[in-house]
């Protein structure tokens, strides 16, 4: 998104907020003139409280990660949970919660990343249950951690152990086996492998001077073993 587009979105959001505040003032005047008592629920509707209850956060996501994100399949449905943090303004460990709502139909112009809209309720932390949370500021840059769908039946290995071309170096019968694997997801530290390795395999974790299929290998018994047994299981992204 260009700086011009960001400025336009910010101005549009501020204008919408000012309009809504004006409508609230009119609603309050109408309410004061009403002679009949209203229930708390109806009072909230008359005073338009829900209309000031949500901000939108634009998050950029690699195209390869979109299939792991849940979007609402109907009005009122729930998308993937999101944790939002403002690194520049909030203390470590402080965050706001939101949910993925919509996929924007165009890539971010400069980065070519996909964009998703995240809704954050009570962004100004006005309600009592949000009183200990920091307010979201229009135009601020934040980090959004999107919780993806659960990945079942995968092997987790450190990313560095997956070699060029999504291959693993495996020690089998004292020899090097260069094995192609299917990586279904990567995060900052780990790769999650669906096919090509199992929990009984010994994965070579050190760099080798000669990388040839069938090359002789030996384990260094005097030191910590350089092979790692993969971790079997599932994972929430």
Same domain, 78 and 35: no
Same domain, 90 and 40: no
The CATH code of the domain that includes 209 is 2.40.420
Quick: pLDDT tens for 64-73. Answer: 889 889 998 7
Same domain, 137 and 76: yes
Residue 83 vs residues 55, 86, 113, 120: alpha-carbon distances, Å: 14, 10, 19, 10
Same domain, 40 and 62: no
Cβ–Cβ < 8 Å for 211, 176: yes
pLDDT tier, 142 (very low <50, low <70, confident <90, very high otherwise): very high
Same domain, 65 and 136: yes
- Give me the pLDDT at residue 159, please: 92
Same domain, 145 and 159: no
Same domain, 167 and 104: no
Examine residue 26 and state whether it is found in any structural domain, yes or no.
Answer: yes
Same domain, 144 and 170: no
Examine residue 233 and state whether it is found in any structural domain, yes or no.
Answer: no
**pTM of the predicted structure, to 2 decimals:** 0.57
Q: Is the dihedral of CA 121, 127, 133, 138 positive or negative?
A: positive
Rounded to 10 degrees, what is the CA torsion of 105, 140, 52, 94? 110
Examine residue 235 and state whether it is found in any structural domain, yes or no.
Answer: no
Examine residue 58 and state whether it is found in any structural domain, yes or no.
Answer: yes
- Which is it for strands 81-85 and 182-186: parallel, antiparallel or unpaired? unpaired
How far is residue 15 CA from its own chain's centroid? Answer: 29
Examine residue 237 and state whether it is found in any structural domain, yes or no.
Answer: no
- Give me the pLDDT at residue 186, please: 85
Which among 51, 69, 86 is the end of a domain? 51
Same domain, 38 and 66: no
Examine residue 87 and state whether it is found in any structural domain, yes or no.
Answer: yes
Task: Of 18-27, 35-44, 58-67, 77-86, give the lowest mean pLDDT range.
Answer: 35-44
Examine residue 178 and state whether it is found in any structural domain, yes or no.
Answer: yes
Quick: pLDDT tens for 5-31. Answer: 545 555 555 555 555 555 555 445 544
- Give me the pLDDT at residue 200, please: 85
Same domain, 74 and 18: no
Same domain, 88 and 128: yes
Q: In sequence order, what DSSP letters do the residues of the chain get, joined into one string? A: --HHHHHHHHHHHHHHHHHHHHHHHHHHHHHHH--S---HHHHHHHTTGGGGSEEEEEEEE-GGGGGGS---SSTT----EEEEE-TTTS-TT--EEEEEEEE-SS--TTT--EEEEEEEESTT--SGGGTTSPPP-TT---EEEE--PEEEEEEEEEGGGSBTTTEEEEEETTEEEEEE-EEEEE-SSEEEEEES--TT-EEE-S--S---TT-B----TTS--SEEPPEEEEEE-
Instruction: Give the chain's largest Cα–Cα span.
Output: 92
Number of domains in the chain: 3
Same domain, 98 and 22: no
Segments forming the whole domain that contains residue 158: 151-228
**CA 87/CA 141 separation, integer angstroms:** 9
């Amino acid at each position: 998104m260009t700086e011009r587009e960001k400025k336009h979105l910010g101005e549009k959001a501020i204008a919408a907020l000012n309009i809504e505040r004006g409508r609230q003032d009119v609603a309050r005047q109408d309410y004061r003139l009403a002679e009949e008592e209203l229930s708390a629920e109806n009072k909230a509707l008359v005073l338009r409280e829900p209309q000031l209850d949500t901000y939108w956060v634009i998050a950029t996501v690699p195209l390869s990660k979109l299939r792991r994100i849940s979007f609402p399949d109907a009005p009122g449905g729930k998308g993937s949970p999101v944790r939002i943090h403002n690194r520049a303004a909030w203390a470590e460990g402080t965050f706001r919660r939101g949910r993925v709502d919509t996929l924007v139909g165009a890539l971010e112009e400069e980065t070519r990343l996909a964009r998703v809209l995240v809704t954050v309720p009570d962004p100004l932390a006005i309600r009592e249950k949000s009183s200990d949370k920091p307010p979201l500021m229009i135009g601020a840059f934040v980090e959004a951690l999107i919780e993806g769908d659960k990945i079942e039946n995968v092997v987790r290995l450190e990313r560095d152990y997956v070699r060029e071309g999504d291959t693993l170096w495996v020690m089998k019968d004292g020899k090097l086996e260069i094995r192609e694997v299917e990586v279904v997801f990567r995060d900052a530290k780990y790769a999650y492998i669906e096919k090509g390795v199992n929990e009984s395999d010994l994965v070579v974790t050190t760099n080798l001077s000669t990388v040839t299929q069938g090359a002789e290998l030996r384990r260094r018994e005097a030191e910590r073993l350089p092979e790692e047994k993969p971790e079997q299981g599932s994972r929430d992204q």
